[in-house]
Amino acid sequence: NMNVMIHRGPLQLDESGEEYFDLDRCIRGFVMDRVSPGDVVAKQVRIGSGEYPIMSFKQPFELPVVYEDDHFAIVDKPAGIVVYANKNGGHGLMSVKSCLPFVLKAPKSGTFAAMLRPKPVHRIDKPTTGLVSNSAIASDV
């Protein structure tokens, strides 16, 4: 799920002499794409506001954050909550994964490999209370 962009030919220059990507000359890069001399390959990184997208609903349950930095976080999962909701399990928003954007801060703008939403990196059973590690950047998953 890499966001690689290939700019066909050299980058363009604006009035101030800064290089920029001409979107008409860019394609989304895939493994089978050939790169020619003069092409520029770039990895797209989210550098927006540094906040996770705001949901139109409220936080589904209380999820205490034990530790947090720009790369990962540790939360204290309450008993009776699943870490990942099954597709047809009927859990809806009552999972650790769906609650993370409400309780965690997004990585700082420009953080390399930042994900749109944080993800748990392991699970513990529904009836168990305990600490769950969560990644905020793709290289930690």
N- to C-terminal Cα separation, the chain? 12
Answer yes or no: 22 catalytic: no
Contacts of 15 (CB under 8 A, 6+ apart): none
Kindly give, in sequence order, each residue whose CB lies less than 8 Å from that of residue 87, ignoring residues fewer than 6 positions away: none
User: Which is the catalytic residue, given 22, 33, 69, 125?
Assistant: 125
Helix (H, G, I), strand (E, B) or coil at 4: strand
Residue 52, SS3 per DSSP: coil
Assess contact for 121 and 134: CB atoms under 8 A: yes
Enumerate the active-site residues: 125
